[in-house]
């Protein structure tokens, strides 16, 4: 056990994406360390956190937020709008504020004011930390995203067999929200240049779903399946023969960490902090953003050159061992303790 401490986690996002999963991992790790959390959220994150036994409140209910903030020792914002909310609550309660920045989008100059009112900024990649200093001269710290190693034990082999039978023999997987950031059109363009015996399974929801389905149809692509959100992601990971992302903006992409854990070869665009995971084509293959030809070539290379692919997979699996959510939670707890002791 550590300090008798309670954290208010703030998230205002709709849906359940990588950032929301990381918040759950952190809260779960903190609970194992004896630290209580209140999770202010909406939509899928609210439902999931509540089902896991966490105290939850509606992040749009200001009265509940203020009451929770007064109960807690630390405010921790996990998204840009939640950061704004965190600053507001900090000004009212004088509680220390932590903000985790997960994306590499360009920010408006007025955003610097929020950072100046934040006690500790954490980035999920060194590239984001460097951009933050370059743009705002804000000193931050990097704590990489984490992965749940228990996912492997949750695999249902019968479900995996069913997926393989339905979509095989070669399944190329993609996990990510259907948004402009993830640039699925480049992935569709790459698919149009490859063998039609490959099946592309795209897992995730987003406001571009219909547009992407129409785009694939216009391209004459029939081997791409948009499966939407899946709560048994581990079964699909176990069924994938290759994992690919085509993002034009990224933080660290925790889905790549999951692919590493499941020993799936990875092809990814060189966006944000992705290169910090892949290395110089050391644990996967990196291609330029919006280059469908090079993306298609890299996919074909990893599927055809089995020995080379296995070498990358082995390196990636050794690498991901340091990304356990338990380690990440201890790193955040050290920050919380420092801030509480400083007050």
pTM above 0.95, yes or no: no
Confidence of residue 317 (pLDDT cuts 50, 70, 90): very high
Are 315 and 240 part of one and the same domain?
Answer: yes
Question: In terms of domains, do 142 and 262 share one?
Answer: no
Q: Residue 27, class by beta-carbon neighbours within 10 Å (0-12 exposed, 13-18 middle, 19+ buried)?
A: buried
pLDDT band per the 50, 70, 90 thresholds, residue 343: low
User: Residue 106 has what pLDDT?
Assistant: 82
pLDDT value at residue 104: 82
Q: Is the pLDDT of residue 1 over 50?
A: no
Residue 268, in any domain of the structure: yes
The residue-averaged pLDDT of 275-304 equals 97
The parent domain of residue 133 ranges over 6-146+324-342
Note whether 313 and 330 are same-domain residues.
no
* 225 lies in the same domain as 99: no
Say whether the peptide bond before residue 169 is cis (omega within 30 degrees of 0).
yes
H or E segment to which residue 18 belongs: helix 18-32
Answer whether residue 1 is part of any domain. no
- For residue 124, give the CATH number of its domain: 3.40.50.2000
pLDDT at 231 over 80: yes
Q: Is residue 163 part of a domain?
A: yes
Task: Using the predicted structure, report yes or no on whether residue 2 has a pLDDT greater than 50.
Answer: no
Nearest to 159 by CA among 227, 232, 243, 230: 232
Mean pLDDT, all residues of the chain: 95
Radius of gyration of the chain (CA): 20
Q: How many CA atoms lie within 13 A of 258 on its CB side?
A: 27
- Find the helix packing angle between 292-304 and 184-191, rounded to 10°: 60
pLDDT score, position 4:
84
User: Please, are residues 194 and 299 in contact by the beta-carbon 8 Å criterion?
Assistant: yes
Residues 196 and 313 in one domain: yes
Does the pLDDT at position 131 exceed 70?
Answer: yes
Say yes or no to pLDDT of 79 above 60: yes
Residue % of the chain over a pLDDT of 70:
99
**What mean pLDDT is predicted for residues 124-133?**
94
- Rounded mean pLDDT of 267-279? 96
Domain identity same for 119 and 251 = no
pLDDT band at 3 (very low <50, low <70, confident <90, very high): low
Distance between CA atoms of residues 216 and 193, nearest Å:
12
pLDDT at 114 over 60: yes
């Amino acid at each position: 056990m550590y300090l008798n401490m309670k954290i208010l986690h703030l998230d205002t996002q709709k849906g359940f994406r990588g950032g929301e999963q990381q918040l759950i991992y952190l809260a779960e790790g903190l609970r194992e360390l004896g630290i209580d959390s209140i999770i202010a959220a909406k939509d899928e994150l609210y439902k999931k956190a509540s089902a896991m036994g966490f105290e939850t409140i509606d992040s749009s209910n200001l009265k509940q937020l203020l009451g929770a903030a007064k109960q807690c020792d630390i405010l921790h914002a996990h998204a840009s709008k939640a950061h704004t909310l965190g600053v507001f609550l900090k000004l009212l309660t004088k509680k220390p504020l932590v903000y985790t920045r997960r994306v590499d989008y360009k920010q408006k100059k007025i955003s610097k004011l929020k950072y100046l009112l934040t006690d500790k900024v954490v980035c999920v990649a060194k590239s984001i930390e460097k951009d933050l200093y370059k743009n705002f001269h804000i000193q931050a710290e990097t704590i990489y995203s984490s992965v749940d190693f228990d996912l492997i034990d949750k695999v249902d082999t019968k479900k995996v067999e069913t997926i393989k039978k339905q979509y095989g023999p070669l399944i190329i997987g993609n996990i990510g929200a259907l948004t402009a950031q993830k640039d699925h059109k480049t992935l569709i363009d790459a698919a149009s240049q490859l063998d039609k015996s490959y099946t592309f399974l795209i897992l995730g929801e987003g406001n571009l779903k219909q547009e992407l389905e129409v785009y694939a149809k216009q391209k004459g692509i029939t081997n791409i399946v948009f499966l939407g959100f899946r709560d048994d992601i581990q079964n699909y990971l176990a069924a994938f023969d290759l994992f690919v992302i085509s993002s034009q903006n990224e933080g660290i992409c925790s889905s790549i960490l999951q692919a590493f854990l499941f020993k799936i070869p990875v092809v990814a665009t060189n966006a944000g902090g992705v290169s910090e995971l892949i290395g110089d084509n050391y644990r996967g293959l990196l291609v330029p953003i919006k280059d469908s030809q090079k993306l298609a070539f890299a996919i074909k290379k990893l599927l055809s050159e089995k020995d080379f692919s296995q070498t990358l997979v082995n390196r990636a699996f050794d690498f991901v061992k340091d990304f356990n959510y338990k380690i990440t939670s201890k790193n955040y707890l050290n920050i919380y303790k420092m801030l509480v002791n400083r007050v």
